Amino acid sequence: MRVLVAGGGGFIGGHLVKGLVADGHEVRSVDVKPIDQWWQEHPDVENWADTDLMGADACRRATKGVDQVFNLAADMGGMGFIENNKAACMLSVLISTNLLQAAVDNDVERLFYASSACVYAAEHQTDPNVTALKESDAYPAMPEDGYGWEKLFSERMARHFREDYGIQTRIARYHNVYGPNGSWTGGREKAPAALSRKVAECVVSGRHEVEVWGDGEQTRSFMFVDDCVRGTRMLTDSDVTDPINIGSSELVSINGLIDIISDIAGITVTRRHNLDAPQGVRGRNSDNTMILDRLGWEPSTSLRSGLEVTYAWVLDQVLAAAGAAA
């Protein structure tokens, strides 16, 4: 097929493009960033850098002549970023709106929309021993302020475009995706990459102290990027029209995450808890009942296995940065 990946220069987008190319699809990879800031640049791909899909004209050009669209484009990052950039996160609705309209205008058959577990109401996430979130928990609506509201609104818009215009939209609610070839410093990185960087810096410096946002007892599930890409493609090719969780069900505390990473690194670290830092909800996990029932599959990469790959990649980046600064 001829496939557009919006956000192809980003973390998940780069891995998705890699898989699509490996399977022989013709890929147009589009991102607002200049090409030297893309996490992955693949040969034999139509790469459109410096292309802002918030604009309607750019979306019409990007969707022309393609069969399928994967919309992973968004202004987002880890908890520190989304709590301090609510308006910027909500402006991603322009991408969602203009891509949907352009896809209809250009007779695109199918569009995948990457939503988030941030659509779930905070009242379901107040306990570290959280009951896993099922898809119906998104309503009555009270999502994460800013980023979560944009995602929930764009979900509904994708649904109504399918109902009114016939484009086959598919919606995944991602739960904390991590892995190599993504943000690991600078403020947009998520917990696995941020803590991998902090532990790697301990290895390099010999000072074995790690700053932890909050008391470290908040819990999450983390999904390795290879599972994310596989689930995304399975869902897009399926007949599942309802929003569906794509996330690991392996729950871990932030303190537990540090334990795993420091063990992989072969060091022992002390924790310095910053109780004033952004922490997000107290607990969040993915209920995978629906994805198992509808797709017969769920993310299965163990957290330890995924972190081994992620930490090794982040360590290489830290060592390279330290070498360049020397």
Q: Which residues are catalytic?
A: 147
Nearest to 112 by CA among 290, 295, 244, 288: 244
Distance separating alpha carbons of residues 45 and 43, to the nearest angstrom: 5
- Cβ atoms 242, 80 nearer than 8 A: no
Distance separating alpha carbons of residues 246 and 178, to the nearest angstrom: 13
What CA dihedral angle connects 76, 148, 285 and 169, to 10 degrees? -90
Residue 6: CB partners within 8 Å, gap ≥ 6? 13, 30, 31, 53, 62, 69, 70, 71, 72, 73, 95, 99
Tokens representing 1 are 């097929």
Distance separating alpha carbons of residues 278 and 78, to the nearest angstrom: 10
